């Protein structure tokens, strides 16, 4: 079909709430290049919003998908278990946990993963408060939208939100919220953030510490360790959560690569 016909079909059958960043109809893609239905080629800088670390349609991935499709597509792991789920969980554990014991479950989206991390933290600590970073993106579901900072794009008109969500400034050294300089600041932001559970009148503080949209900025050295120590002293749960991690491509930017991090998600 021609692009104009597809655009008309899209307008008739797909809600406007699903926005588009590029006014093109993609027909095929390979590596970092995509081609639309009119034959125009584009360099893809989005990668499905940070999830195609190996590019479009690598031969080995396409072959693995075809092989699996010939065996079975979906059984629901909770109903009928299968080896690939377990094997991938094992590989993920060995990749990110180093010497720390770890278990992995898989979710349908980043928002679902964050929601589950919050549920686990609340159930484990029996404390309803959630401490999160300012200017962070967590997702668009009820709980994750409550944690997300940006109002106009994601939250406007959807009140009320989940209660007991507390925000602290992110350790962003380029524009420090406290006007200090690293490392002479002695991680003042981490100390201020981790003391909030003790200042909170309710005394409740299960933490969900997010690093931003796609973890696009990393924390100063030892900040996560400070959060972990505070979590232990306050009886809280420190969770590293990112809605679009792109983990294989993030390297040391991922908090999961820090051996001493107390992981719950």
pLDDT tens-digit readout, 117-162: 888 888 888 888 888 888 888 888 999 999 988 888 889 999 999 9
Distance CA 171, CA 168 (A): 9
- Confidence (pLDDT) at 210: 43
CA–CA distance, 155 with 166 (Å, rounded to integer) = 16
Average pLDDT, the chain: 81
Q: If you compute the radius of gyration of the chain from its CA atoms, what whole number of angstroms results?
A: 21
Q: Span 15-30, mean pLDDT?
A: 90
DSSP state of 56: B
pLDDT at 132: 84
Closest CA to 54 of 256, 257, 253, 248: 248
**Contacts of residue 220, Cβ cutoff 8 Å, sequence gap at least 6:** 171, 173, 182, 183, 187
DSSP 8-state secondary structure symbol assigned to residue 173: G
**Per-residue pLDDT reduced to its tens digit, 32-89:** 999 999 999 999 998 888 788 899 999 999 999 999 999 999 999 999 999 999 999 9
- Residue 249 or 189, more confident: 189
What does 156-172 look like in DSSP terms, one character per residue? TT-----S-EEEE----
Q: What does pTM read for this prediction?
A: 0.77
CA distance 188 to 191: 5
Q: Which residues contact 212 (CB under 8 A, 6 or more apart)?
A: 133, 135, 136, 137, 170, 242
Edge-to-edge strand order for the sheet containing 26-30? 26-30, 33-36, 41-43
16 by Cβ neighbours in 10 Å (0-12 / 13-18 / 19+) ranks as exposed
On whether the CB atoms of residues 11 and 19 are closer than 8 A, the answer is no
- Which domains does the chain show, CATH number per domain? 3-69 (3.90.1150.10), 74-106 (no CATH), 107-257 (3.40.640.10)
Residue carrying structure tokens 């050295």: 221
Lookup: tokens for 175: 């524009």
Residue 52: what pLDDT?
87
Q: Smallest Cα–Cα separation from 204: which of 109, 125, 90?
A: 125
Residue 217 has pLDDT above 80, yes or no: no
Give yes or no for residue 235 having a pLDDT over 70: yes
pLDDT of residue 129: 85
Least confident of 49-58, 188-197, 201-210: 201-210
Whole-number percent of the chain with pLDDT over 70:
80
Which of the four pLDDT bands, split at 50, 70 and 90, describes residue 259? Answer: very low
Say what the pLDDT of residue 202 is: 45
Higher pLDDT, 26 or 189: 26
Q: Is residue 264 over pLDDT 50?
A: no
- Range 150-177 average pLDDT: 88
């Amino acid at each position: 079909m021609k692009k104009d016909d597809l655009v008309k079909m899209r307008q008739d059958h797909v809600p406007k709430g699903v926005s588009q960043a590029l006014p093109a109809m993609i027909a095929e893609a390979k590596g970092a290049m995509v081609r639309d239905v009119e034959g125009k080629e584009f360099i893809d800088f989005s990668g499905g919003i940070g999830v195609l670390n190996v590019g479009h349609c690598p031969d080995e991935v396409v072959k693995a998908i075809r092989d699996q499709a010939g065996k079975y597509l979906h059984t629901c792991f909770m109903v009928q278990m299968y080896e690939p789920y377990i094997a991938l969980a094992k590989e993920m554990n060995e990749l990110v946990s180093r010497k720390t014991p770890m278990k992995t479950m898989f979710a349908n989206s980043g928002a679902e993963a964050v929601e589950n991390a919050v549920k686990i933290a609340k159930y484990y600590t029996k404390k309803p408060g959630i401490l999160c970073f300012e200017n962070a993106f967590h997702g668009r579901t009820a709980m994750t939208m409550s944690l997300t900072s940006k109002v106009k794009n994601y939250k406007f008109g959807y009140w009320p939100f989940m209660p007991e969500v507390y925000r602290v400034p992110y350790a962003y050294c380029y524009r420090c919220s406290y006007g200090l300089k690293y490392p002479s600041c002695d991680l003042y932001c981490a100390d201020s953030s981790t003391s909030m559970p003790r200042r909170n009148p309710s005394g409740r503080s299960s933490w969900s510490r997010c690093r931003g949209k796609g973890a696009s900025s990393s924390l100063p050295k030892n900040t996560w360790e400070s959060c972990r120590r505070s979590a232990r002293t306050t009886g809280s749960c420190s969770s590293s959560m990112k809605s679009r991690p792109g983990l294989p491509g993030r390297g040391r930017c991922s908090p999961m690569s820090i051996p001493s991090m107390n992981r719950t998600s």
